[in-house]
Structure 1
Amino acid sequence: MRMTRVEIEVFGKEHEDFSAQLSGASLWNPSHDTLQRVFAMVPSEFLENFQTRWNEMLNSEEGEKVKRLLAIDGKTQRGNGRRKIRRGNHIVSAVDERGFCLGQKRVEEKTNEITAIPELLDSLNIKGTIITTDAMGTQTAIVKKIRRKRADYVLALKGNQGSLLEDVREYFSDEKLLEKCAYKQKVEKARGK
């Protein structure tokens, strides 16, 4: 997930204590216009190096203070492809509840998310977090990876996943089970589906 300059400015203002703790000094939070001028001058290699260092910090003990809920999702970037020559980039990102992108991986097509998600999980310290993903990420190998790395998960189900959705419906229709455990059901209707 990409943050706008205005969102970065707001985040900086809302998290001044966290910024000061990371840097060891009180930081001045620049305006979104200043951020645009700075980003225009910064070479992309520097930003890639910064992302790597940020991921390393998140994998340290200090990073444990930042993470709680981690959403993994793929998006196609608009406006970066050339008409009829090249498709837009498809990026799988790991984003925390505050909108921080903790890691990302570029894939050739949306269907490649299934192989990219485990690779992205390998690059992150997810111990103790709750991983969420859409139905594309509801795969046995992905769940095994999450559990092996000592994290929890919330996955989406659709009717096109064999008998899995029906199995879950049957499981939750058991009256005795419902008395023993707490669960929350949420039905959403979006995009005409």
Structure 2
Amino acid sequence: MEFETLKIQIEEFQSSSTMTMRVAGNETRIRILKKILKLFEGVSDTRVQGRVTYRLNEIILMLFLATLAGSESCLGTQDFWRSNTRLYKRLFNKDAVPSHDTFRRILGLIRPDEFNALLVNILTDSDAAIRKALKLPSPTKKIVSVDGKQLRGTGRKADTEEEIRDLQILNVYDQDSETCLFSEAIESKTNEIPHAQDILSRMNLRDTVVTFDAMHMQTKTVGIIADGKGDYVGGLKGNQGKASEFAKALFTQENLEKLKAIDGCFHMTSEISHNQLEQRSFYLYPLTSSEKKGLFSDWKKAHALVCMAKSMVHNITGKRTDEVRYYLTSLKDIGDAAHCIRSHWNIENGLHWNLDTVFHEDSMALSDRNAAHNQDLLNKACLSLYKRLGDLMGGKEKISKRRLRNIFGWNFNDAMSRTLTLMDPATFAKSVEIIPKKSK
């Protein structure tokens, strides 16, 4: 398997070694915070500089740390800093904490593209530092997933009954780092397509597999990925017309049995999840030369069709549910294709679900769409840090993101110290202690 994410590598590392992270002291914490404060100067400030009380980078750091500690609103950010006056005075050299209106107004002024790029750079440097300290190789191939998310609660306007649609965010998610590389606001679900094509055309896709649902299974999108030297796995549904009909007619029970007997055309996984047995059977059908030149001639680099037959049996009720999905891919290995198909759901389960259940984004009290977008970016950055901290701290024990967020709220100084260590490569390298486990 060429796709080894950092999470998988850390789990393998912890099976043979024990890693501890020393908690950063007060002086180290302040030093790292001021370093991050300096990094946040990279976000443009459109305000008239002679009339501002709080610098933009100061407000961003206040919002970031409050979000880490559990704040879910601008009012919560105000309350957090009023409860941490000692840290506030030492870090910002001020007495008065900004009002919640100030936090909301600044969130509405920040350019999301600049803000996201800066946060992604910080997280990328952190992952590189972890790999270097633990002597972990970079993955041979990466998986990038494309999908959109709706920010429920943003579709409203103050003091009016005017109907406003909820804000849609298109996410491009790196499965290795579990980080959103791009998060762009779009006006409607269908507008995902041109936005995704624009983002993919700007990315380096070499040694990368792009996964997406049927909405993005467009010949232009596939062409952009192929021209960028990347691979793809995309869903096939009715909107692909003849290609989808061909797949449905192809994967009959008789043909599935034939493919099952051919080496390299069948792969199966089984697991117990959500109190039910889930079994997935993957069948790969390599397209013939005539099919590539005929029906699939417009799909660049198309190599095979994949059928995933999923069967779920509830452990208590015995109820059985069956599901069949079809995919078009440029990949040649059935194991790789199956892994990419499964990995695509991480953008739903690992990103979107956590944003709703841990950060409660559906209850976000921000009607300003730009402010809501920027708060969403803060949530995603904090979620990536929670995940990495949980991977490193947990060992064999899985620490849920909700539990980690509670830990931040209950013991902020200690949790913040560990997180800040992750965000400063030099400090992380010095704080890590590795002890090989004794073989039995």
* 1:87 is the counterpart of 2:185: no
Q: Which runs of 5+ in 2 are unaligned?
A: 1-19, 22-31, 34-64, 72-76, 81-99, 129-137, 267-281, 283-307, 312-320, 323-440
The one-character-per-residue Cα deviations of 1:87-131 (angstroms, maximum 9, x if unpaired) are: 111111101225411102222211112211101212332321211
Other structure's SS at 2:238 match: coil
Tell me which amino acid in the other structure corresponds to 1:49. Answer: E
Q: Report the counterpart of residue 179 of structure 1 in structure 2.
A: 262
- Equivalence for 1:103: 182
Match of 1:75 among 145, 149, 153: 149
Aligned to 1:5: none
Aligned counterparts of 2:121 and 2:201: Cα–Cα separation in 1: 12
Please list the CA deviations of residues 23-74 of structure 1 after superposition, one character each: whole Å capped at 9, or x if unmatched.
Answer: xxxx79x796536449x8594427642322456787xxx7xx4882111001
Post-superposition offset of 1:180 = 5.6
Cα distance in 2 between the residues matched to 1:180 and 1:166: 26
RCO (CA 8 Å, sep 6+): is it higher in 1 or 2? Answer: 2
CA distance in 1, matches of 2:188, 2:67: 33
Matched, 1:51 2:134: no
User: Quick one: which amino acid aligns to residue 114 of structure 2?
Assistant: N
TM, length-normalised to structure 2? 0.31
Residue 20 of structure 1: aligned partner: none
8 A contact 1:69–1:96 mirrored in 2? yes
Instruction: Find the counterpart in structure 2 of residue 34 from structure 1.
Output: 69
Residue matched to 2:401? none
CA distance in 1: counterparts of 2:179 and 2:145, whole angstroms: 10
* Sequence identity percentage: 26
Q: Indicate the residue corresponding to 1:8 in structure 2.
A: none
How far off its partner does 1:162 sit?
Answer: 0.9
Taking structure 1 as reference, are residues 141 and 177 closer, same or farther at Cα in structure 2, changes over 3 Å only? farther
Aligned-partner residue type, residue 51 of structure 1: N
In terms of fraction of residues, the more helix-rich structure is 2
Instruction: Classify 1:170/1:70 alpha carbon distance in 2 versus 1 (closer, same or farther; 3 Å).
Output: same
Aligned equivalents of 1:168, 1:104: Cα separation in 2: 32
* Structure 1 gap segments, 5+ residues each: 1-15, 18-26
Report 1:131-150 matches (<5 A): 131-150=210-229
Matched residue count: 162
More strand by share: 2
Q: CA RMSD in A?
A: 4.0
Q: 1:182 to 1:51 in 2, by over 3 A?
A: same
Secondary structure, in 3 states, of the residue corresponding to 1:80? coil
Q: Please identify the structure whose Cα radius of gyration is greater.
A: 2
Q: 1:169, CA displacement in angstroms?
A: 4.0
Return the TM-score normalized by structure 1.
Answer: 0.63
- Cα distance, 1:85–1:32 mapped onto 2, change above 3 Å: closer
1:114 matched to 2:193? The reply is yes
